[in-house]
Amino acid sequence: MKTSKLLPGLKAIYLPVCALLLVSCTQTSAPPAPVVSVNKPPVTPTVEPKAEVQAEAFKYEQVPTTPVASTEPISAADAEETHQLGLIEVARKELTNGDKRRALAISFTLQQSEYAQVRQQNQLLLAQSFTANQQWPEFEAWLQGLSLQAIPAADRLNFVIETTNYYSLQQDPLTALNWLFELDILAANIPENAKGRDLLWQQLVQLSDADIQALKTNHPRSQAWLELLRIAKGFAGDQASLKKAVTDWVVRNPMMPAEADLPADVQNLGSTVAYAPARVGVVLPLSGQFKTLGESLQLGMVAAASESERSLVFIDSTQTPDAIIAELEQANVEFVLGPLLREDVDKLQAHAGWRWPTLFLNSKPEAAANKADQFYFALGVEDEAAQMMQYFQQRQFHNPVLIYAVNPIGQRMAQHFQMLWQQRTGKAVESYSYGTQDQLKSLINQFLETSASEERVKELNRLSGRTVKAEMHSRQDIDAIYLIADPVQTRLFKPFIDVTVSPTARSLPIFTSSRSHSLKVDRSDQRDLAGLTMTEMPWLLPQATTATPLRASYDQLFPEQDETLQRLFAMGFDAVQLIERLKIQQQFPIMSYQGLTGSLRLPDGVSIQRQLTLAQYRQGKLQLLEKSGNAR
Superfamily of domain 382-441+474-626: Response regulator (3.40.50.2300)
| Local confidence band at 218 (pLDDT 50, 70, 90 cut-offs) | confident
Q: Is the pLDDT of residue 424 over 90?
A: no
Beta strand residue intervals within 421-573, DSSP E: 430-434, 480-484, 510-512, 533-536
Position 421: which residue type?
A: W
Calculate the alpha carbon distances from 523 to 123, 517, 559, 566 in Å.
64, 14, 18, 21
| Local confidence band at 20 (pLDDT 50, 70, 90 cut-offs) | very low
Domain boundaries, the chain: 1-170, 184-273, 290-376, 382-441+474-626
Q: Tens digits of per-residue pLDDT, 468-511? A: 444 444 567 788 999 999 888 888 887 777 656 555 556 788 99
Burial of 556 (C-beta count, 10 Å sphere; 0-12/13-18/19+):
exposed
Question: What pLDDT was estimated at residue 5?
Answer: 44
| Local confidence band at 2 (pLDDT 50, 70, 90 cut-offs) | very low
Are the beta carbons of 157 and 183 closer than 8 angstroms?
yes
Taking the C-alpha atoms of residue 146 and residue 357, their distance in angstroms, rounded to an integer, is: 48
Closest to 38 measured CA to CA, from 140, 151, 110 = 140
User: Same fold for the domain at 184-273 and the one at 382-441+474-626?
Assistant: no
The per-residue pLDDT of the chain, averaged, comes to: 80
Considering the four listed CATH numbers 3.30.465.10, 3.40.190.290, 3.20.20.70, 3.40.50.2300, the one that applies to the domain covering 290-376 is: 3.40.50.2300
Q: In this prediction, what percent of the chain has a pLDDT beyond 90?
A: 47
Q: Tens digits of per-residue pLDDT, 237-286? A: 677 888 899 999 999 999 999 988 998 888 877 777 889 999 999 999 99
Q: Tens digits of per-residue pLDDT, 324-367? A: 999 999 999 999 999 999 999 999 988 999 999 999 999 998 87
Report pTM. Answer: 0.69
Per mean pLDDT, which range of 224-238, 296-310, 406-420, 433-447 is the poorest? 433-447
Calculate the alpha carbon distances from 529 to 384, 431, 463, 619 in Å.
20, 22, 41, 10
Calculate the alpha carbon distances from 109 to 41, 66, 83, 98, 387 in Å.
12, 20, 14, 18, 41
Question: Who has greater pLDDT, 128 or 500?
Answer: 128
Report, as an integer, the average pLDDT of 558-574. 91
Question: Who has greater pLDDT, 629 or 600?
Answer: 600
**CATH domain 184-273 topology:** 1.25.40
